[in-house]
Structure 1
Amino acid sequence: MEIGQLSQALDEIFDGAVVHHGYTDYMRDYEVIVYVTADPRTGQPPAHLRYLFTHCVVAEVRTALSPDTWRRSLDGRLTDPEVGPDLDGFVWAVRWQPLYPGATVVPESERARSWADKVGIPFHEVRFELNAHAIALVFNDLEVTEVGEGYAPFTVAKDD
């Protein structure tokens, strides 16, 4: 994928809601599920988009919350959608994060270049800034698909 295409794909989810991120169940690719909406006048229905970062060699996730916010957010009840909103602290129970200020391509990333030299395929680096997490990914390509509401990223093996 060209840098311009990658930047455009990231611009399309600006200010969306990240509802899931993590490695796929086969642990090679990293996915970010974003709920996007448009002005109702456009006629565009809301959608859940799966951004699949293939051959992901680096996935760094760190908190974007201050130590003070963390201190106030340790109560397990903040993960409960019924109780959490009534407490003081970061309400984990909302189960989504705004993609703001957004996702950006790291131009001329040294990490991407180093991986490309070692593996022999192109790599890119992107950074996501969310209200609770900051994510950095180094990967080869991006696939964008629409997934249904309630998309479950992990397959659970059934006992026979």
Structure 2
Amino acid sequence: MEIAKLRRALDDVFDQAVVYHAYTNYMRDYEVIAYATADPSTGIRPAHLRYLFKYCVQAEASTALSPDIWRESLDERLTDPEVGPDLDGHVWAVRWQPLFPGAQLVADSRRAKEWAEQVGIDFHEVRIEMNAHHLNLIFSELEVREVPLGYTPYLVAEDS
């Protein structure tokens, strides 16, 4: 995969909303679903975009929240969209998080290089930072496509 193309794809969703991320149902690829919007005056309609990180050999997810915020966010009611916004703490119920400060290609990734040498194909490392989670993914290819409203990741067939 061309590095310039990969960087452009990552830049295209800067500061958009991540609504889902996990390994696919067949457990080889990692997907990130972003809800991309633009200023209404542009005429560009909002879209759900599926970022499919193919041949994902490593996916690390960690919290972006401090221990203090976690301590304030343990109340189960923060997962309820009706009640959560009225409470103090991180409101989990919003069911999305901004892709900010964004996604970056890790230049000269030692881990990606090791995988490339062992498997015989190119690998890349991407760091995705959101307001509640950080992801580090090591993968070979990236496919981006629009998915319909109501897309259910775990129901996708293996060849999708």
TM-score (norm 2): 0.96
Unaligned runs of 5+ in 1: none
Q: Within 5 Å, which residues of 2 pair with 1:37-52?
A: 37-52=37-52
Deviations 1:3-48 (A, max 9, x none): 1110000000000000000000000000000000111121110000
Secondary structure, in 3 states, of the residue corresponding to 1:44?
coil
Aligned counterparts of 2:87 and 2:40: Cα–Cα separation in 1: 33
Measured in 1, the distance between the counterparts of 2:89 and 2:10 equals: 30
Which residue identity lines up with residue 104 of structure 1 in the other structure?
A: Q
1:36 aligns with 2:36: yes
- Could you report, residue by residue, the CA deviation over 1:39-65 in whole angstroms, capped at 9, with x for unpaired residues? 112111000000000000010000000
Stretches (4+) displaced over 4 A: none
The Cα shift of 1:148 comes to: 1.0
* Cα deviation, residue 155, structure 1: 2.1
TM-align CA RMSD: 0.9
Distance 1:80 1:147 in 2: 26
In structure 1, distance between residues paired with 2:85 and 2:21: 23
Matching residue's letter, 2:57: V
Number of aligned residue pairs: 156
- Corresponding letter in the other structure for 2:136: A
Unaligned runs of 5+ residues in structure 2 are none
2:140 corresponds to which residue? 140
Task: Give distance in 1, aligned partners of 2:9 and 2:85.
Answer: 33
Q: Give the TM-score normalised by structure 1.
A: 0.96
Secondary structure in 2 matching 1:93: helix
Report the counterpart of residue 61 of structure 2 in structure 1: 61
SS of the residue aligned with 1:107? coil
